[in-house]
Chain A
Amino acid sequence: MKNRFFTIIAFLGLTALFFSSCSKVPQAEIDAANTAIEQAKLAGADVYVQDNFVALQDSLNNVMVSIESQKSKFIKNFSTAKEHLAGVTQYAGEVKQQAETRKEELKVEIQNTISEVKTLIETNRQLILEAPKGKEGTSALVAIKGEIDAVETSINETSTLFESGDYLATLDKAKAAKEKATAINTELSGVIAKYKTNVKNKKA
C-alpha cells in the first residue's frame, strides 16, 4: 500500500516535471524579437514603412498577450508563442530591409532631383545672358536672377536636411525647387523666343 502511494506521488511529480519543461517563458525569444523591432525602428521603419512597422508591433503585442495567457494557465505551453516570436523576429528583419530599401530609393530620387535642379539653374543662368537687356545690361532681369538665387539657396538647404536623414522632407523641398526652376526656365525661354521673333521680323 505504502509503495503504491509513493508510486502515485512519483508519477504526479514526473508529470509535473514534464509539463514544467514546456512552461518556461521564452525570454530569449522575446528579447530577440524586441531587439529586432528596435533595429527596424533605428533603420527608420516607423517613418519610411510606417504601416508595416505598426503591423510588426501589433504582432509582438499579440504574442505577448498569448504568453501572459499561457502564464495564467495551470498547465502552460509556450511552444506556439515561441514559433510566433520567431516569426516576429523574422518579420522585423524584413521590415528593417524594406525601410532601408525605401531610404535608398528616396536618396536616389533626391540626388537625381537635386542634380536636375542644378542643371536647370545653370541653364537658367545661361539663358539670362541671352535674355533681352536694357541700356545698362541686366537691370530688368534682376527679379528673375533673384528667383534663381532663391532656388539655389533652397537646393543648398536640402543638403542640410539630407544630412539630418529627413529624406521625405528633403524630397519635398527638392521637388518644389525643381518646379520653380522649371517655371523660370519656361519664362526665360518664352521671353527669349519672343525677343528673337521680334528681331527676325525686324530683319525681314
Chain B
Amino acid sequence: MKNKILLLVSFLVLVIATVTSIRIKTNKPPEIEVMKAANMLAKAQYEKSPKFAKEAFHEATFHYNSAMTEWKKQNEKFILLRDYRKVSEFAKKSMEYSEKAIDKSRIFIASTEDILKIRIETIGQKIKGFEEYYGKFPLDKKRDNYTRCKLLYTESLHAYNSKNYSICKVKLDSVEIVINDVFNHCQENLINYFEDYSKWNEMVKITISWSKKNQSYAVIVDKLNRELYLYKNGKPDKKYTVELGANWIGDKIQQGDKTTPEGLYKIVEKKQNGQTKYYKALLLDYPNEEDKKRFSMNKRNGILNQDAEIGNLIEIHGSGGKGIDWTDGCIALTDKEMDEIFKSCTIGTKVTIVGSVKTLSELSYNIK
C-alpha cells in the first residue's frame, strides 16, 4: 500500500514538473520586448517627442505602463496560470508609438527650424527695410511699440538659438503684428503725404523758372530725402544733405509742432555769426500770407486751439551734420556747407520747401 502511494505521489510530481516546465518554456516572460520598449521610449524622449510629438509619445508611454501593469498582474497569478501575451502586445504597441513619435518629432523639429529660420529672416528683412525707408518717420505713440518689437525680435533670436522653438514662435508672432502695424501706419502716412505731390511739383517748377528768369540762385528743399538743391540760373548747381525738425512729415500747423513748413518762401535776413546762436542763418519769411490764412482757418474750424500760435523764425542755418533730425522746424546744414549757401544766397532768394521733388513711384518705397 505504502509503495503504491509513493509511486502515485512520484508520478504526480513528475507530471506536475513536466507540465510546469513545458508551460514555463512556452510562456516565457517578455523581458526582451519590454526592455526594447523601455529603450525606445527613452530614445523618443531624447528626440524631444514629449514636446514635439505629444500624442504619439503619450500613447507610447500609456502602452509601456500598461505592459508593466499587466506583467505585474500576471506575476501575481500562480505560475501555471500566467499569460504574458498581452504584455508583449502592449510592449510592441509602445515601441510602434515610440518610433512614430521619434519620426514625428524629427520631422517637426526640422520643419519648425526651417519655418522659423525663414520667418526670422523675413521679419529681420522687414525691420531692416522699415529702418531704411521709415526709420526717420515720426511714429508718435507707436514708437514705443516698435522699440519693444525690436527687443522682442532679438529675444526670439535667442530663443531660436537655444532651440526653444515654441517661445521663439510666440515672440515672432508678436513682432510680426507690430512691424506690420507700423509699416502700414507709415505707408498710409506716406501715401496721404503724397496727395500734395502735384502742389509740390508746381512749386518746384515755379522756383526753377524764377531762378532761370532772374538768372539767380534758388533753393529747393526736399524734406523726405533730406536734400537741399541749390539752383543757379534754373539749373541744379549743388546738392546738400540737411537735418530737419523731429516731426518733419506734413506741413507746419502751429508753433512747437517741430515741423518744417512747406511752401514758397524767400530769404528775408542774412544773419552773420553773433546774430544767431547757430553757425550763420538765412531767415525765411515764414509765416507767409498763405500760412497765415490757413492758420486762421484751422483756428476757426476748431482744428487748432484758440490760444495756438503760428510760429516763426524758420531758418536755414549751420551747426548741423549731427546725423539726426534735431531742429524745431529749421533746416540745418554743416557749417562748411552753410558757408557755401550763405555766399550764394541773397535777401530775396526764393526758398521752396516741399515734401519730395520725386514722385512716390520714383522712390524705392515698394508701396503695395
Interface residues of A (CB under 8 A from B): 1-2, 5, 51, 54-55, 57-58, 61-62, 64-66, 68-69, 71-74, 132-136, 139-143, 146-147, 149-151, 153-154, 168-169, 172-173, 175-177, 179-180, 190-191, 194-195, 198, 201-202
Contacts and interface: CB of A to CB of B under 8 A. Distances in A.
Interface stretch (B190-198, B200-208, B321-329, B353-361): B321-329
Interface in B132-158: 139, 143-144, 147-148, 150-152, 154-155, 157-158
Given A68-B72, A132-B326, A140-B326, A176 B155 contact: yes
Interface stretch (B38-46, B110-118, B229-237): B38-46
B155 A172 contact: yes
B335 interface: yes
A51 B323 CA distance: 52
B158 A69 contact: no
B213 to A, nearest CB: 36
Interface stretch (B27-35, B122-130, B214-222, B264-272): B27-35
B167 interface: yes
Contacts of B22: none
B81 interface: no
B327 A134 contact: yes
Given A68-B68, A74-B24, A172 B321 contact: no
A65 B31 CA distance: 7
A177 B153 CA distance: 11
Contacts of A58: 38-39, 41-42, 45
Nearest to B21: A74
A133 B279 CA distance: 15
Contacts of A5: 6
Contacts of A72: 29, 31, 71, 74-75, 82, 84
B368 interface: no
Given A168-B164, A176-B158, A177-B151, A194 B38 contact: no
B159 interface: yes
Contacts of B334: 198
A191 B323 contact: yes
Contacts of A68: 29, 31, 34, 68, 71-72, 75
A74 B21 CA distance: 10
Sorting the interface of chain B by its residue count into under 10, 10 to 19, 20 to 34 or 35 or more gives 35 or more
Interface in B323-355: 323-328, 334-336
B151 A176 contact: yes
B258 interface: yes
A125 to B, nearest CB: 15
29 contacts: A57-B42, A61-B42, A62-B39, A65-B34, A68-B34, A68-B72, A68-B75, A69-B29, A71-B72, A74-B24, A132-B324, A132-B326, A134-B327, A134-B328, A139-B258, A139-B328, A140-B324, A140-B326, A143-B147, A146-B144, A146-B147, A150-B151, A151-B151, A154-B151, A169-B167, A172-B155, A179-B154, A191-B324, A202-B279
8 smallest A-B Cβ distances: which pairs?
A72-B29, A58-B42, A140-B326, A176-B154, A176-B155, A61-B38, A134-B326, A172-B158
Nearest to A140: B326
Contacts of B150: 147, 180
B55 to A, nearest CB: 19
A60 to B, nearest CB: 9
B143 A143 contact: yes
